Amino acid sequence: MSGMTEVATARRSRITPEREAELYEAVLDLLREVGYDALTMDAVAARTKSSKATLYRQWGGKAELVAKAVRYQKPGAAIDETDTGSLRGDLHALTMRSDDCEMEQSSALMRGLAMAIHGNPDLLRAFKEHLIEPEMAGFRQVLQRAIDRGEVRADNPAIDFVMHMMIGGFAARSLIDEQPPTQTFLLSYIDAVVLPALCAPAS
Amino acid sequence: MSGMTEVATARRSRITPEREAELYEAVLDLLREVGYDALTMDAVAARTKSSKATLYRQWGGKAELVAKAVRYQKPGAAIDETDTGSLRGDLHALTMRSDDCEMEQSSALMRGLAMAIHGNPDLLRAFKEHLIEPEMAGFRQVLQRAIDRGEVRADNPAIDFVMHMMIGGFAARSLIDEQPPTQTFLLSYIDAVVLPALCAPAS
């Protein structure tokens, strides 16, 4: 009997993985469109044709729902596979993993969350763990191989700033140029900024 | 008589420049604290001890009030005065114009506006005209002198990305490192990234 009760409880409080994925996609879309502050549980309920009661029962609140949706983000192609034999080839390959449409979406998501993550430690953790850290891990591998090949000096201080440079190109593109970042833009930025900084000789 | 009516009208619909400055400072503070979406006219009225009616009569609405407040931002020390004789000296001097507290404030303001400027052309214009363009003008002067001195090749593609690099260091600092950008951080970033990219020899 106790076993049946558990099953019934689990059933009542669970939604299917497909439905969960649908909900997270809707939350991410809303985040890109209106940002965190303007995102309401009402809007999520309306767009996903679910009841607010279900949303609150399942996730507890907006912050938890958004953090889970960010966590749900699919990672790009496995980084391990990116090994072209040169730093330039690897950095270009990392960039080419996302098409222009995906980059525009990431850029919109970053914008939508920028303010919220500063007042919300859970969201900041989800953002770092699921969006920033996987990217950083990829860049670290690529850089280590470049150091092993002798393309980059192990003590080049620019190594610590790879993510700052990349996020800069990415985020400033829409701010300064009023255009979403594109593959073409990021490849020129890598050639003009990231590679010269990383491959600079000892000063 | 018609002259007296005009004076009376002007008096009724105007506030003193001191009061205006106070209001703009309060709006900028609120923007940094809660961001554009969560900023309400009620909060501005409460913080500045003014009536909402006055705010609406004077500015029309939130977007106009925020755009005016952004425009009101005092520019940093005149760029023309920054001429140390070397690119490194000039870039360091530009960075030193703002102390750590001012940098943290700019970084908070950028965060607070990032989402809003994408849905609000007036705000984007104010943001670019009064926060981005003056900075860019400063960097352009400094770079032109570096080109004239032969420190930077005139056809170095990194020249077009100076603001992207700087904004990257600035904005990514709080995202990745969870710390506000500081003078110390930005000076290392300039030495490790910006100068090697700008001074790279022809490839």
Cα–Cα distance for residue pair A78/B156, rounded to 1 Å = 34
A170: enclosing H helix or E strand: helix A162-177
CA quadruple B154, B157, B160, B162: dihedral positive or negative? Answer: negative
Above 60 in pLDDT, residue B140? yes
ipTM given for this complex: 0.81
Q: Counting beta carbons within 10 angstroms of the beta carbon of residue A117, is it exposed (0 to 12), middle (13 to 18) or buried (19 or more)?
A: buried
CATH code linked to domain A2-72: 1.10.357.10
Chain B residues with CB-CB distance to A124 below 8 A: 178
Taking alpha carbons only, the member of A100, A107, A115, A101 closest to residue A131 is: A107
Above 60 in pLDDT, residue B3? no
Q: Are A168 and B186 in contact (CB under 8 A)?
A: no
What is the model's pLDDT at position A203? Answer: 66
Average pLDDT, chain B: 85
Cα–Cα distance for residue pair B166/B160, rounded to 1 Å = 12
Above 80 in pLDDT, residue B164? yes
Residues carrying CATH 1.10.357.10, chain B: 2-72
B94 vs B198, residue with greater confidence: B198
SS3 of B73, please?
Answer: coil
Fold classified for A79-198: Tetracycline Repressor; domain 2 (1.10.357)
Partner residue opposite B164 with nearest CB, options A111, A161, A168: A168
Q: How many residues does chain A have?
A: 203
A133 vs A147, residue with greater confidence: A147
Q: What is the pLDDT of residues A78-116, one digit of tens each?
A: 556 779 999 999 999 988 888 888 888 888 888 888 878
Q: How far is A152 from chain B (nearest CA, A)?
A: 13
Residues carrying CATH 1.10.357.10, chain A: 2-72, 79-198
Above 50 in pLDDT, residue B1? no
List, in order, residues 6 or more apart from B48 with CB less than 8 Å away. Answer: B22, B23, B26
Q: What angle do CA B150, B153, B157 make, to 5 degrees?
A: 155
Cα–Cα distance for residue pair A106/A98, rounded to 1 Å = 10
Do the Cβ atoms of A193 and B158 come within 8 Å? Answer: yes
Q: What is the pLDDT of residues A117-140, one digit of tens each?
A: 877 888 888 888 877 888 888 899
C-alpha torsion angle, residues A122, B35, B188, B100 (rounded to 10): -110
Q: Band of the pLDDT at B12, cuts 50, 70, 90?
A: very low
What is the model's pLDDT at position B79? Answer: 58
Partner residue opposite A164 with nearest CB, options B34, B35, B168: B168
What is the model's pLDDT at position A79? Answer: 59
What is the model's pLDDT at position A135? Answer: 82
Round the CA-based radius of gyration of chain A to a whole number and report it. Answer: 20
Over residues A7-25, the mean pLDDT reads 73
Q: How far is B39 from chain A (nearest CA, A)?
A: 10
Taking alpha carbons only, the member of B75, B65, B76 closest to residue B26 is: B65
Nearest CA in chain A to B169: A164
